[in-house]
Amino acid sequence: MIHKPIYKPKARAREYGDLATNIYNGCPHGCTYCYARAMKKRFTPKGAICTFDTPEPRPYIVQSITRQIERERIAGKLIHLCFSCDPYPAGIDTIPTRAIIEIIKASGNNVQILTKGGQRAERDFDLLGAGDLFGATITGLWNHAEQYEPGAASNQSRIDALKAAHGRGVKTWLSCEPVIDTTAIYSLIKNAHYIDLFRIGKMNNHPSGINWATFGAKCVELCKEYGRAYYIKDDLQNEMRKGGYQGEI
């Protein structure tokens, strides 16, 4: 059995919520900037095959989550799905994801989903209600996303899933991190009325020519102008302050 599959996120992940769980032991989306993927490859023993890109559900994950919730009497919490994997990975039977959402909901908790699976997630929208959040990651890439996220659903599929969730009354959020194309993020802030919360960060662990102080300031300006609820992540806030930003974030 997995030891405590529901855990308290640390470091940057702490900004997303109090609790989280990872359902699969990798992700097939192949995102070139993925920290979890890089770490798995780095620590795979020489000569061994890294299985991160061909994941499976973690062994006994459904049973382990059920037992932990019962044993620790976890209730009234928002549980994030997922950090080191995607809850709707391409080419994989995601029945475990649906089962885990059902368990979390039945125990008096809520889910905060973050995915690049796009419309694959719509199958489970019937399980979501008040207190749940459905989110997608968009880096800003549109024309060349396959170079950076070759196995993930298209940005349009992610947008369509967000619109579908919004249409069902489910609260939606957009994770703009890592950011690769600032212009596309600005456009989403202006036009994506179906997103209830923008969480905006920067690029970490990879080089970038973006002026983060300017980018952050522009995002805050647009969110205020268009009445968007937003959260600027700590790393981006730090860059804004270093760049001389003195306004309210």
Q: What per-residue confidence (pLDDT) applies to 147?
A: 80
Q: Where are the domains of the chain?
A: 11-242
Summarised one tens digit per residue, pLDDT across range 29-64 is 988 888 777 677 776 777 777 777 888 999 999 999
- pLDDT at 139 exceeding the cut of 60: yes
**Which DSSP string corresponds to 166-180?**
HHTT-EEEEEE-S-S
pLDDT band at 199 (very low <50, low <70, confident <90, very high): very high
- Model pTM score: 0.92
Nearest CA to 78 out of 1, 173, 153 is that of: 173
Q: Quick one: CA torsion of 104, 162, 201, 155, rounded to 10 degrees? A: 120
Helix (H, G, I), strand (E, B) or coil at 230: strand
Sign of CA dihedral 126, 117, 50, 43: negative
φ/ψ bin of 220: left (φ > 0), alpha (ψ from -120 to 50), beta (otherwise): alpha
Distance, CA of 118 to CA of 32 (rounded, Å) = 19
Q: Give the H/E segment covering residue 21.
A: strand 19-21
112 and 231 in contact (C-beta within 8 Å)? Answer: no
Q: For domain 11-242, give the fold.
A: TIM Barrel (3.20.20)
Q: What per-residue confidence (pLDDT) applies to 144?
A: 60
Distance, CA of 58 to CA of 5 (rounded, Å) = 9
Listed in sequence order, the DSSP H helices in 83-154 are: 95-106, 145-148
Listed in sequence order, the DSSP H helices in the chain are: 35-43, 61-72, 95-106, 145-148, 155-167, 182-191, 212-225, 234-242
Q: What per-residue confidence (pLDDT) applies to 18?
A: 84
**Residue percentage of the chain with pLDDT more than 90:** 73
pLDDT band at 206 (very low <50, low <70, confident <90, very high): confident
Distance, CA of 243 to CA of 86 (rounded, Å) = 34
Phi first, then psi: what are they for 175, rounded to 5°? -95, 105
Q: What per-residue confidence (pLDDT) applies to 1?
A: 53
